[in-house]
């Protein structure tokens, strides 16, 4: 505590300020490890993404090494982005959010940072296994089974920490973001373990395995990434604008309906597949029911922002978070419609699906996590970001890049589907039609990756301590803390002079 100057200005209840500073401080090591590792996997995942993308229109590119063939680079991209980037960013965010909302310190100050390292070892082990040819070849679960041991260890600690924070919390009311986090934290380990058993056990094979596989893959998005993304939106939009959620009871209704319906939706991935029709129908009905939670979230985010759009100019967090929230509405409505048989007849098994998945994991989740990181890094390190222009470059490259990606492939996928449904069109003509659009994805991916590199530079400079220390009401600079800082600097100068 000694290093952080906290004063007692008349207007502010110092105890609350103190608690906030202490909870933020207690998250420092853990969140830093999860966040910086996430950024590392994001960079690696981007390289693999560009490779995979290039190979779709230059098939011979780097094909002479088997570890760089499409069949390995693609799952390596997926797992690096999901288990490396998305999950690590999510864990860092949810731990900080829980400490913040419960006004408690993060427990397990030693074990949680260790869990971050263990998680990295797990991802690294899995990635190497995939690249040298030991993938399980079950999409989303390509990591070899022993990786479960690494992940299990960490998840047990995260669940434990969450429960402890829930018990110790100083705020009686359970805020809507906390509901989402508790849900996500308790659902994900259950999903992961049961899916692994159901897809890897020798008894389960054929179409049954496919059903378990897509039940899992869809639920990772809906019952893990979505809750953490929405928890962030429900915290950051009100917090940044200073305006409470527009309709709080709608937000709770949204949570409970998501909890009820999402789990049923997974089998819409198998529309047209050789499984019993009723299984698919259940998935379609579940997808339609999702209109309820999605509408509540859409109304709430939009109405909370109404009249507040001016803040988008001044807040980096809000830019990313609002971009993410709007994408959530889009991707969810689109997903519900895409589950219909008539729509799937055209769009299924085309690039349209890939556009949809990146609208979700990129435009919604990844952008949301960028927003969260822009808010959290300065508070756990008590430092400003070093450069406003770089933040803007990051925002515009990723925003424009992802829009090109999603709109381009979304459209091309539809045309591809119509062409494939027409028996008079030769298959090669369909392939040729898609090539310019695949090239546009490589351009988009390059733009997005430039954004990721810029972000990594910002994070690097943040860790090095380039940004101004504790400034602005963001960090609640007070007269005394500023004076203390000036004095510290003066002393340092004095010392430097003394040495010279």
Partner 1 sequence: MLVVYVVIWSSAVLLGLSAVWGLVWAIRTGQFHGLREGAESIFDDGEPVGTPTDFFPGAARSAASASGTKAGAMEEKWRR
Task: List contacts with ligand HEM (CB under 6 A).
Answer: 46, 49-50, 52-53, 74, 77-78, 81-82, 85-86, 353-354, 357-358, 361-362, 366, 445, 448-449
Q: Shortest CA distance to 362 belongs to which of 394, 399, 412?
A: 399
Under the criterion CB under 8 A, does residue 190 sit at the interface with partner 1?
Answer: yes
Is 178:236 a contact under the CB 8 Å cutoff? no
52 binds, among partner 1, ligand HEM, none (CB under 5 to 8 A by kind): ligand HEM
Among 143, 224, 261, 374, binds partner 1 (CB under 8 A): 374
Contacting partner 1 within 235-254 (CB under 8 A): 235, 238-245, 248-249, 252
Among 201, 303, 306, 431, binds partner 1 (CB under 8 A): 201
Is 466:430 a contact under the CB 8 Å cutoff? no
- State in angstroms the smallest separation of the CB of 409 from ligand HEM: 9
Q: For 256-297, give the DSSP string.
A: HHHHHHGGG-GGGGGTTSSS-HHHHHHHHHHHHHTHHHHHHH
Among 8, 9, 272, 488, binds partner 1 (CB under 8 A): 9
The nearer residue to partner 1, 131 or 258, going by C-beta atoms, is 258
Torsion of CA 105, 108, 109, 112, to 10 degrees: -120
* CA–CA distance, 402 with 447 (Å, rounded to integer): 9
Under the criterion CB under 8 A, does residue 200 sit at the interface with partner 1?
Answer: no
460 binds, among ligand HEM, partner 1, none (CB under 5 to 8 A by kind): none
229 phi and psi angles, rounded to 5 deg: -65, -45
* CA–CA distance, 199 with 216 (Å, rounded to integer): 10
448 binds, among ligand HEM, partner 1, none (CB under 5 to 8 A by kind): ligand HEM
Q: For 134-199, give the DSSP string.
A: ----STT--S-TTHHHHHHHHHHHHHHHHHHHHHH-S--S--HHHHHHHHHHHHHHHHHHHHHHHH
Longest CA pairwise span in the chain (Å): 86
Rounded alpha-carbon distances, angstroms, from residue 108 to 34, 104, 193: 15, 12, 24
* Stretch near partner 1 under the rule CB under 8 A, chosen from 153-161, 181-189, 325-333, 407-415: 181-189
Under the criterion CB under 8 A, does residue 464 sit at the interface with partner 1?
Answer: no
- State in angstroms the smallest separation of the CB of 354 from ligand HEM: 5
Q: Which residues bind partner 1 (CB under 8 A)?
A: 9, 11-13, 16-17, 20, 100-101, 171-175, 177, 182, 186-187, 190, 194, 197-198, 201, 203-204, 235, 238-245, 248-249, 252, 256, 259, 311, 314-318, 374-375, 384-388, 391, 467-468, 471-474, 476, 478-479, 482
């Amino acid at each position: 505590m000694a290093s952080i100057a906290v004063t007692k200005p008349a207007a502010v209840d110092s105890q609350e300020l103190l608690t906030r500073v202490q909870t933020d401080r207690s998250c420092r090591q853990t969140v830093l490890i999860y966040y910086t590792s996430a950024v590392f996997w994001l960079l690696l995942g981007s390289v693999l993404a560009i490779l995979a993308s290039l190979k779709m229109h230059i098939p011979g590119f780097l094909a002479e090494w088997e570890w760089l063939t499409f069949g390995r680079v693609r799952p390596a991209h997926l797992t690096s982005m999901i288990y490396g980037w998305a999950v690590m960013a999510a864990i860092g965010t949810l731990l900080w959010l829980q400490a913040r909302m419960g006004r408690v310190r993060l427990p397990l100050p030693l074990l949680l940072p260790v869990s971050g390292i263990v998680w990295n070892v797990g991802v690294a082990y899995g990635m190497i296994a995939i690249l040298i040819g030991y993938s399980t070849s079950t999409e989303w679960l390509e990591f070899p089974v022993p990786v479960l041991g690494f992940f299990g260890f960490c998840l047990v600690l995260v669940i434990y920490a969450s429960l402890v924070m829930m018990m110790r919390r100083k705020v009686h009311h359970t805020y809507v973001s906390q509901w989402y986090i508790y849900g996500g934290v308790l659902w994900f380990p259950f999903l992961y373990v049961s899916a692994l058993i159901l897809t890897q056990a020798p008894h389960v094979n054929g179409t049954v395995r496919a059903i378990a596989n897509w039940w899992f893959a869809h639920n990772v998005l809906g019952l893990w990434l979505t809750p953490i993304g929405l928890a962030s939106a429900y915290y950051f939009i009100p917090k940044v604008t200073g305006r409470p959620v527009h309709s709080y009871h709608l937000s709770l209704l949204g949570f409970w309906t998501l909890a009820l319906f999402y789990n049923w939706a997974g089998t819409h991935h198998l529309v047209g597949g050789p499984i019993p029709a009723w299984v698919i129908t259940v998935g379609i009905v579940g997808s339609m029911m999702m209109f309820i939670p999605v509408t509540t979230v859409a109304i709430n985010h939009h109405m909370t922002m109404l009249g507040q759009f001016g803040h988008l100019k001044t807040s980096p967090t809000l830019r990313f978070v609002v971009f993410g929230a709007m994408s959530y509405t889009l991707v969810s409505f689109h997903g519900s419609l895409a589950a219909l048989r008539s729509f799937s007849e055209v769009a299924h098994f085309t690039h349209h699906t890939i556009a949809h998945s990146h609208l979700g994991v990129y435009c919604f989740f990844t952008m949301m996590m960028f927003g969260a990181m822009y808010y959290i890094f300065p508070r756990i390190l008590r430092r400003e970001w070093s450069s406003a222009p770089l933040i803007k470059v990051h925002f515009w490259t990723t925003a424009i890049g992802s829009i090109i990606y999603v709109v381009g492939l979304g459209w091309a996928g539809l045309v591809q589907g119509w062409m494939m449904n027409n028996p008079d069109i030769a298959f090669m003509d369909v392939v040729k039609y898609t090539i310019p659009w695949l090239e546009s994805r490589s351009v988009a991916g390059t733009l997005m990756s430039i954004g990721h590199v810029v972000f990594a530079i910002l994070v690097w400079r943040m860790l090095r301590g380039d940004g101004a220390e504790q400034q602005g009401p963001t960090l609640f600079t007070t007269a005394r803390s500023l004076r203390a800082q000036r004095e510290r600097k003066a002393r340092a100068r004095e010392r430097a002079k003394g040495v010279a």
